[in-house]
Amino acid sequence: MHMMVFRPEQWVKPMAVAGANQYTFHLEATENPGTLIKDIRENGMKVGLAIKPGTTVEYLAPWANQIDMALVMTVEPGFGGQKFMEDMIPKVHWLRTQFSSLDIEVDGGVGPDTVHKCAEWSGRALSFQSKLKTAPYHLGDLRQATQPP
Ligand SMILES: O=C(CO)[C@H](O)[C@H](O)COP(=O)(O)O
């Protein structure tokens, strides 16, 4: 679940009860990420941590070893159909360089014209390219497709 909400603390238990196995929250939306990470784990879910375009990736870095997935927003949160923000891609590259086994997602404006850039900068372009023709391009597919055979 990508919880693009204020006060993400209040939805941890309800989401776990509803059957969620991963809980992604926005770093900007909480004052205590460490406590929230712990709470998500205690409720049996994996942890995803998202950052908005205006948040530097270094702000996420201190938590990177405690989470399962980092999500780099490539549009401003709010609505669909926005243009992919290519200047967010260096964040993906930096995270891949620093945290080689961390799952990384991007969200917003991803489609046939932009998905190549995501895969290339994640450092896993080759295996992804071969599956590129099998649209639709859900982010889960992107991650799956970029796993080594
Ligand atoms: O909630 C969102 C942004 O607030 C969506 O995750 C995002 O907009 C995806 O939509 P699209 O693929 O059309 O860019």
The reported pLDDT for the residue numbered 123 is: 60
The reported pLDDT for the residue numbered 75 is: 97
In this predicted complex, what is the ipTM?
0.92
Number of Cβ within 10 Å of residue 145's Cβ equals: 18
Q: Mind listing the pLDDT tens digit for each residue in 42-72?
A: 999 999 999 999 999 999 999 999 999 999 9
Q: Kindly list the protein residues whose Cβ atom lies closer than 6 A to any atom of ligand 1.
A: 4, 75, 77-82, 107-110
Q: Ligand 1 pocket check: which of 5, 71, 79 to mutate, most ligand atoms within 8 Å of Cβ?
A: 79
Cα 143 to middle of ligand 1, angstroms: 17
Q: Which atom of ligand 1 is nearest to the CA of 107?
A: 6
Q: b/e string for 81-115 if b means 16 or more Cβ within 10 A?
A: eeebbeebbebbebbbeebeeebbbbbbbbeeebb
| Structural domains of the chain sorted by starting position, each given as residue range(s) with its CATH number in brackets | 2-110 (3.20.20.70)
The reported pLDDT for the residue numbered 118 is: 79
- Which residues in the chain land under pLDDT 70? 121-149
Q: What gap in Å lies between CA 27 and CA 112, rounded to an integer?
A: 29
